[in-house]
Amino acid sequence: MQGITGHQGQFHTRAMLDFGTKVVAGVTPGKAGTKVEGVPVFDRVADAVRKRKANASMLFVPAPYAKDAAVEAVEAGIKLLVIVTERIPFHDSLDLMPYARSKGTTVIGPNCPGLASPGQAKMGIMPNLLFKEGDAGVISRSGTLTYEIVNAMTQAGFGQTTCIGIGGDPIIGTSMVEALAWFQKDRATKRIVLVGEIGGTAEEEAADFIRRKVTKPVVAYVAGRSAPPGKRMGHAGAIIQAGKGTAESKMKAFADAGVPVAQYPSEVATLLASTS
Amino acid sequence: MKFLEHKAKEIFARYGIPVPRGIVASKPDEITDPPLPCMVKAQVLVGGRGKAGGIRPAETLEEAREVAGQILGMDIHGYQVKQVYLEERLSIAKELYLGLTIDRSAREPLLMTTAMGGMDVEDVPREDLSMEHVPAMIGLQPYILRSLAGALSLERDIAEQVASIARRAYELFRKEDAELVEINPLIVTGDGRVIAGDAKLVIDDNAEYRHPEYANLDQDRTPLEQEAHDKGIVFIQLDGDIGVIANGAGLTMATLDALALKGGRGGVFLDLGGTDDPAKVKQAFELLIKANPSVILVNIFGGITKADTVATGVKQAIDEMHAKVPVVARIKGVNEAVAKEILRSVGTHPAETIEEAAELAVRVKSGGL
């Protein structure tokens, strides 16, 4: 846990321990030798890897220091990096993502609620109480909206294998398509929930991938159908998206791929019922 | 952060990108020595100003002042013209286009060029657009510039100037944390020089801390949007009449969508983020009340957020502002029951789900409750 000694870091260390995560070490420069919730703190990620055999890290450091902390983790041999931090300049992510990939490190995020596998472990900030073990995989670009949907699923009796918050930034480490491929491969996952939103073309690419490669039932929700066309990234951005990126385009892509799309977040649970 | 043309050109010039000579003015009598003959260009943070009459020629000082006087104060797509830029008129042989932005899917910067500059680049046929990804880890390589020159089929001397501009534009893109660098048109003059005719620059708001020199640029926010920005609150004004407070962008959008599906329309929305600090909630609520919505819908899904402290913030704001605006609140989180009591005590309507809250808000608004 990088950034373990901050207020949020301490709180979520406790929550992760309660969830069953083996939190073996924390890192905050200058705080070596202290403990948080019984977890030893080190100055450097390399020390945490060498002395406590950490193989995954969750980044909880402020945006201006996130790139530095992430590179330190990758260089120390961390293989799974969850970056919760929001408001990281995307030029930092442009540097970081291909670099981490070239070193064999999987990055989730930034600007994401992390990962949770009920009954096993959690690396992130999602509220523990929402989850229930089950056979649905959840992939989401959003934070609180994910909680809303997972909560509705759990209440309707649909538990989760793993919930992956891939993050809401323009440049992210793991795409919706990559997460879909993991769930397609995962034997325990029998159905998949996608939570998308307007902007970018992740949902359209996911729909295309589902049509070609995914045999498990998928249901989706797309936020932003009432948003005005307003903000777009100049003309160049419009070219890349080439008419994609709107809620209509995403809902149509899902419909064409045979993926039912919920109108309200809670309706995801109703749609799941028709997949069993 | 968006930049007015003259400010963007100042930054372009700093990176060695050739720009025409020009002066800025906010009143006609400030104009004493414009480069003549000139173009008088409205400075607004919105496209399409040429078609709207915001760019006009002038031959003499008197004419420049007269035209500037007509353009200043104009309304261009909702933006008031506060400044004009008077720029030397160039003899145009050719108009190209050069743009840099990111391709989210490829996770790489994208360099776009076309020989069909001067028009909306969306209208340029796809086969006439050259798009080259730039590997961010390595940087802009010569092969990219070669393929760019080939696609534009330019004479060697012109191609070299364009390549040099592309290199400088990429340097600017990376160093200034830009989301968009766009030159349209990139002018080839009659005497064989290549000059940025226009300049569009958008810098990543998240990188503001690395560029304090741009912190006070006018972003044409409404006064309320400015106040919210200064307080670090995400606040956006739409054209409906229902005020929405939620936490997280996705949930905020989902709430607006639910309102639309129930026949309502979001007017102002405000993303509270991860806070349950009553003082912050109160501050957010006060901003929303100032926007004068017909009803306020609060939708907070906390999980770890304390519902009762959010409710306390709502109560304090209503009490102190003696607000008469009806409030529908749906707050999920720790201590929900206490939260509901607090909300009832100030006459708000509690709801259980998003659908219920949206429906209730629309009914309250139309006098159904």
Taking all residues of chain A, what is their mean pLDDT, rounded to a whole number?
93
Instruction: Using the predicted structure, report yes or no on whether residue A227 has a pLDDT greater than 80.
Output: no
Instruction: Using the predicted structure, report yes or no on whether residue B47 has a pLDDT greater than 90.
Output: no
Percent of chain A whose predicted confidence (pLDDT) is above 90: 86
Instruction: Using the predicted structure, report yes or no on whether residue A240 has a pLDDT greater than 60.
Output: no
| pLDDT score recorded for residue A37 | 97
3-state SS, one letter per residue, for A185-209: HCCCCCEEEEEEECCCCHHHHHHHH
Strand blocks (E) in chain B: 22-25, 38-43, 55-58, 75-76, 79-80, 83-88, 92-103, 108-114, 129-133, 178-189, 194-196, 200-203, 234-237, 242-246, 266-271, 295-306, 327-334, 349-350
Express each pLDDT in B241-255 by its tens digit. Answer: 999 988 888 898 899
Taking residues A158-169, report their average pLDDT: 96
Q: Which has the higher per-residue pLDDT, B219 or A78? A: A78
Instruction: Using the predicted structure, report yes or no on whether residue A17 has a pLDDT greater than 50.
Output: yes
| pLDDT score recorded for residue A234 | 45
Express each pLDDT in B117-151 by its tens digit. Answer: 988 888 888 888 999 999 999 999 999 999 888 88
For chain B, give the number of residues. Answer: 369
Instruction: Using the predicted structure, report yes or no on whether residue A211 has a pLDDT greater than 50.
Output: yes
B223-365: same fold as B92-213?
Answer: no
Beta bridge mates, A262:
A221
Instruction: Using the predicted structure, report yes or no on whether residue A34 has a pLDDT greater than 90.
Output: yes
Measuring CA to CA, which residue among A14, A29, A27, A36 is closest to residue A54?
Answer: A27
* B354:A148 CB<8 A: yes
Alpha-carbon Rg for chain B, nearest whole angstrom, is 26
Taking residues A190-206, report their average pLDDT: 94
Antiparallel, parallel or unpaired: β A218-223 and B55-58: unpaired
Q: Does B127 touch chain A (CB under 8 A)?
A: no
How many other C-beta atoms can be found within 10 angstroms of the C-beta atom of residue B13? 13
Range picked from A200-204, B316-320, B321-325 for highest mean pLDDT: A200-204
| pLDDT score recorded for residue A238 | 54
Size of interface A-B (CB pairs under 8 A): 172
Distance of CA B45 to the CA centre of its chain: 8
| B254: nearest CB among A95, A170, A265 | A265
Give the position of tokens 């939708």: B299
| CATH architecture of the domain with residue range B21-88 | 2-Layer Sandwich (3.30)
CA B369 vs CA A110, A226, B87, B311, B319: distances in Å: 44, 25, 60, 21, 21
| pLDDT score recorded for residue B107 | 95
Amino acid at B38: C
SS3 content of chain A, % helix, strand, coil (to 5): 40, 20, 40
Could you tell me the two tokens for A29?
């420069």
* A200:B104 CB<8 A: yes
Taking residues B153-171, report their average pLDDT: 95
Q: Which has the higher per-residue pLDDT, A245 or A25? A: A25
CB A171 within 8 A of CB B102: yes
**Choice among B73-82, B91-100, B181-190 with the minimum mean pLDDT:** B73-82
Q: Measure the CA–CA gap between B306 and B293, rounded to whole angstroms.
A: 26
What are the residue boundaries of the structural domains of chain B, listed by start? 21-88, 92-213, 223-365
| pLDDT score recorded for residue A236 | 56
ipTM, interface predicted TM-score of the complex = 0.92
Residues 6 or more apart whose Cβ sits within 8 Å of residue A10: A4, A36, A37
| A94: nearest CB among B109, B248, B253 | B109
Q: Does B261 touch chain A (CB under 8 A)?
A: yes
Q: Measure the CA–CA gap between B202 and B222, rounded to whole angstroms.
A: 19
Q: Measure the CA–CA gap between B364 and B300, rounded to whole angstroms.
A: 19
Taking residues A99-115, report their average pLDDT: 96
Taking residues A12-26, report their average pLDDT: 97
Please check whether the domain covering B92-213 is classified as CATH 3.30.470.20.
yes
All domains of chain A in start order, with CATH: 7-108 (3.40.50.720), 114-273 (3.40.50.261)
Express each pLDDT in B187-238 by its tens digit. Answer: 999 999 999 999 999 999 899 999 999 988 877 777 888 888 888 787 887 8
Instruction: Using the predicted structure, report yes or no on whether residue B275 has a pLDDT greater than 50.
Output: yes
Q: Measured between CA atoms, how close is B153 to chain A, in angstroms? A: 21
Q: Measured between CA atoms, how close is B210 to chain A, in angstroms? A: 9
CA A253 vs CA A222, B111, B122: distances in Å: 11, 27, 22
Measuring CA to CA, which residue among B161, B186, B177 is closest to residue B11?
Answer: B177
Taking residues A206-230, report their average pLDDT: 91
CB A43 within 8 A of CB A32: yes
Q: Does B110 touch chain A (CB under 8 A)?
A: yes
Given B97, B214, B225, B359, the catalytic residue = B97
User: Selecting from 3.40.50.261, 3.20.20.450, 3.40.470.10, 3.30.2400.10, what CATH number does the domain B223-365 have?
Assistant: 3.40.50.261
CA B249 vs CA A180, A199, A238, B254, B366: distances in Å: 23, 12, 21, 9, 27
Residues 6 or more apart whose Cβ sits within 8 Å of residue A66: A59, A83, A85, A88, A92, A110
- What is the three-class DSSP state of A76? coil
Q: Measure the CA–CA gap between B338 and B351, rounded to whole angstroms.
A: 14
Q: Measure the CA–CA gap between B118 and B183, rounded to whole angstroms.
A: 9
Instruction: Sort out which chain A residues have CB atoms less than 8 A from B248's CB and list them.
Output: 142-145
Could you tell me the two tokens for A148?
């809303």
DSSP string, B23-67: EEESSGGG-SS--SSEEEEEE-SSS-TTTTT-EEEESSHHHHHHH
